[in-house]
Structure 1
């Protein structure tokens, strides 16, 4: 028997229940919904945070329920402590300072906190 597309006559098997296990990037959540709803963590107000947002919050020492006001206050506090000017020119904390600045910059541009930031400016 000749077939233009061999193999299509066979049954396919469903994915295993642990097939998602974080093995690939799924930015829009297509496989998460299909695999039983690995829902992303939600913060207060229904804000959806991705992995990078959660890591940035962890870098600042905050949890998922932090508001942008909390983030900004913690950022200022950490910069005040880690900046070389505050430590008599000591640059040993420079790598940690860079991580704090990068985390704040990421959260400032994150869609999860963008609306809160814009409403605060108005």
Structure 2
């Protein structure tokens, strides 16, 4: 009985906090929901673009560079062992790396930002 009472109290407290801190968002006095979404996107798009250019693309570039050099190393060791160099995986990783390194230059014009 005590445990269920504690759970009920915690649930009611959480519900009260959610209700207290929720904000009602009105589209506009005319009820133009599409316009409100468009204005929000226009305000946030520059921030999104900055974060993607300065955080997301460099993180992806770093991961791809590490994978590329690791795969190049393992391909070299396989070449030393078997006498045949496998180009497919390093070539794919290199292509992806070049794509993501140059993506900030043209990706925003493709998306229309």
TM over 0.5: no
Question: Larger helix proportion, structure 1 or 2?
Answer: 2
Larger Rg: 2
Q: TM-score under structure 2 normalisation? A: 0.33
Q: TM-score under structure 1 normalisation? A: 0.31
Q: Which one has more relative contact order, counting CA pairs under 8 Å at least 6 apart?
A: 2
